[in-house]
Each structure stands twice: as structure tokens, then as C-alpha cells.
Structure 1
Amino acid sequence: MGLDVGKKRIGVAGCDGTGLIATELITIHRQSFTSDIEKLKKLIETREATKLVVGLPILMDGSLGSQAKQIQKFGNRISTILNLPIEYIDERFTSLEAVSELKAQRKYSSYEKGLVDCYAAKIILQRWLDQRHIAS
């Protein structure tokens, strides 16, 4: 399962059974850590997810800023609680790509930021799937 973790929302994506195609699922509007975990847990169980792929906002110089470190802290915490392995992937420009994709599909609205997060999660997961496929 792919995650685009933000302070207000978590975009969530999943993939098909073959592990080739990522699709956007939902956006979790964050309320509390416990609530976020419960929502993720239900999705993981329903989709039988075996791994979390989390987008990491790496700075343009390739270093990890404070936001990336916060996401790693959150990711490591949920990985332990949900008992799932986690991998991080560079998420630079995924939100821009998501907006572009939504505009091309005529689905973009500046009022629906959650949809951008969900599509960004799909892009994050698709990048990871593609890299895994190329490596094998």
C-alpha cells in the first residue's frame, strides 16, 4: 500500500494482485494518531497489504529535511504497530504530477486537496512498483 503522508491528510493507494498497477484508494483526513491507525488497519486487512510504501519529501539537494524526518518517525511507528515492513521512496514532484494528471482528466478542483493526496499516493506506489519490476 502506498502512502502520501501529510499533516492534514494521508493519501492511500493500492495495487492490483500482480503488483504492476497502482490505483488511488482514499484520503484519510487526519484526526488523531489512533484514528489514523485504525483506518489504515482496516484498509490493510481488507486489501491484504503486505508492505507500506511511504513517500519521503527529500530536499532538492538530496538531503532529508525536518518534514522527511517527521514522516520517517511516523512511518517507522506505524510499521511497528501494524506489523508491516516499510519502504520509503522519493516523492519529489508527486503532488505536481497528481495535479497535472487530474487536470488532464478534468477532475481537478483547488477545493478538493484530498484527491491530489490520493493521486500522489498512487504515483508514489507506481514508482516503487516500476523500480521493483525493472530490478527483477
Structure 2
Amino acid sequence: MRTMGLDVGSKTVGVAISDELGWTAQGIETIKVDEEKGDLGFDRLKELIEDYQVDKIVVGLPKNMNNTIGPRGEASQAYAKKLEKEFSLPVVLWDERLSTMAAERVLLEADVSRKKRKKVIDKMAAVMILQGYLDSLK
């Protein structure tokens, strides 16, 4: 069984999946969402959960540097509750402070163009969230 990592934003959700042993995270895709219309990407997530036999979901929780939770963090918490209800899987909230910045730095060091970075940044952030969670289990 595998673990899915999600970097939830207002327009996209980055998706990563662990290997079967739970050692490494691989970026899968970025799903476009529209919070205002109620499209949370659950149809595509359902397909991925079934395809990869996911048994746990890790959702990035963006906290402020002073450890408080702002509007984006509250939105992630609400998203996590909806995931748990929709898919009947355990959902873990994982502190994702600086994951997007770290993903951006990795892509910059790899000399990825701005246009390409924009397309993969959420997927890369999901990898960093999931890898951080997997590493914490060892």
C-alpha cells in the first residue's frame, strides 16, 4: 500500500505518491481545482487512489512562521476533513512550512525555466511534504 501526499492550493493540488515500501516520494501530477465552484479535484484523486492502492493521505498544512494557522491553513484543514469523509482513508496533516520555497530552490538549482517551474512547483512541493512525512516514520 502507498501513501499519497498533497500540496493543496486555491487553484491547484500537487500530488505525490510513495513507493510501496514507503521510502521515497515521486511527483505524479498537478490537478486543477476551482474552490469557488466546489471542484476540489476529488474525481481525479479517486482514480489515483484506486490506481496506486493508496491507504493514507498526507496533506500539507501551511503554518505561519510563528506556528499559527492562517486562512490557507484553515482551508487545508477543511480539505483534509472532506478527503477523510469522501474516501474513508486516514488523513494526516503535515507541517509544510517552506516546502514550496524549497521546491522552488531545487528547480532553480536545476536551471528549470520560469514557465516550466510554474507547471511543476505544486507537484514538487507535494513530493517534499510526503518525503518529510516518510522520513519522520524512520
Deviation at 1:78, TM superposition (A): 1.4
Deviation at 1:110, TM superposition (A): 4.3
Q: Could you list the per-position Cα deviations for residues 64-96 of structure 1 after superposition, in whole angstroms to 9, with x for gaps in the alignment?
A: 112111110111111110111100111111111
SS in structure 1 at match of 2:137: helix
Whether the 8 Å contact between 2:61 and 2:94 is mirrored in structure 1 is yes
Q: Cα gap change, 1:118/1:102 in structure 2, threshold over 3 Å: closer, same or farther?
A: same
- Equivalent residues in 2 for 1:77-88 (5 A)? 77-88=82-93
Whether the 8 Å contact between 2:104 and 2:117 is mirrored in structure 1 is no
Q: 1:54 aligns with which of 59, 69, 82?
A: 59
**2:106: which partner in 1?**
101
Where does structure 2 lack aligned partners over 5 or more consecutive residues? none
Whether the 8 Å contact between 2:83 and 2:91 is mirrored in structure 1 is no
- Equivalent residues in 2 for 1:115-134 (5 A)? 115-133=120-138
Q: Cα gap change, 1:112/1:105 in structure 2, threshold over 3 Å: closer, same or farther?
A: closer
SS in structure 1 at match of 2:131: helix
- More deviation, 103-112/49-58: 103-112
Please give the alpha-carbon distance, in whole angstroms, between the structure 1 residues aligned to 2:27 and 2:107. Answer: 12
Q: 1:20 aligns with which of 5, 18, 23?
A: 23
Q: Kindly report structure 1 stretches of 4+ aligned residues shifted beyond 4 Å.
A: none
In angstroms, what is the RMSD of aligned CA positions?
1.5
Whether the 8 Å contact between 1:11 and 1:114 is mirrored in structure 2 is no
Q: 1:10 aligns with which of 6, 10, 13?
A: 13
Whether the 8 Å contact between 2:61 and 2:95 is mirrored in structure 1 is yes
Figure out how many residues of one structure are paired with residues of the other and give that number.
133
SS in structure 2 at match of 1:51: strand
Deviation at 1:59, TM superposition (A): 0.9
Q: Cα gap change, 1:33/1:41 in structure 2, threshold over 3 Å: closer, same or farther?
A: farther
TM-score by length of 1: 0.91
Whether the 8 Å contact between 1:9 and 1:114 is mirrored in structure 2 is no
